[in-house]
Amino acid sequence: MAKNPTELRLSVSAVVRRAEAKAVGAGVFEILLMQRSDNGQWGLPGGHVEPGESVAAAVAREVQEETGWRIAVDHLIGVYSDPARQVIDYGGGDRVHSVNLCFAARALAPGEPTTPEESLDQGFFSSDALPEPFVPIHAIRVADALCRGAVDALGRAEGVAVR
């Protein structure tokens, strides 16, 4: 991760379960993942919120653009803002501190991605057998989604207890 951010952006991501949300095992579910074209890593679909857009609309748009899936947004999993993990160097001097809101969602209907250049592959995977390589900051969000109820709204990875 980069240091000394030059910009702050709001982003969204989603842990998308199959609509039937059938458990694979105790506390284990199949979740939708995509393999990123920029670094080859597997991770959660998501992206930046556009001006004038709600975070719920943004996450639904990003999932559909990147994977083709229409989703139903269920609830907020957590807010992830730790600069040690959330500052990304995009090159050319742009270092973005991304504040991410991660949502739980259900997959409703498949379709065609509208930004296929952002993804090499996609599919549903068991949450206890994530494909490699996997985006490290996304692994934290998946873990938080699986232990919902035991995590505060700022996300376990923040290291800040909020009561």
More confident residue, 2 or 8: 8
pLDDT for 19 equals 67
Decide if pLDDT at 135 tops 60. yes
pTM of the model: 0.85
Distance CA 156, CA 31 (A): 20
CATH architecture group of domain 7-158:
Alpha-Beta Complex (3.90)
More confident residue, 4 or 73: 73
Distance CA 52, CA 84 (A): 28
Q: Taking the domains of the chain in order of start, what are their residue ranges?
A: 7-158
Query: Residue 20 has what DSSP assignment?
Result: T
pLDDT for 158 equals 43
- Reported as a single tens digit per residue, the pLDDT across 65-110 is 999 999 999 999 999 999 888 888 888 888 889 999 999 999 999 9
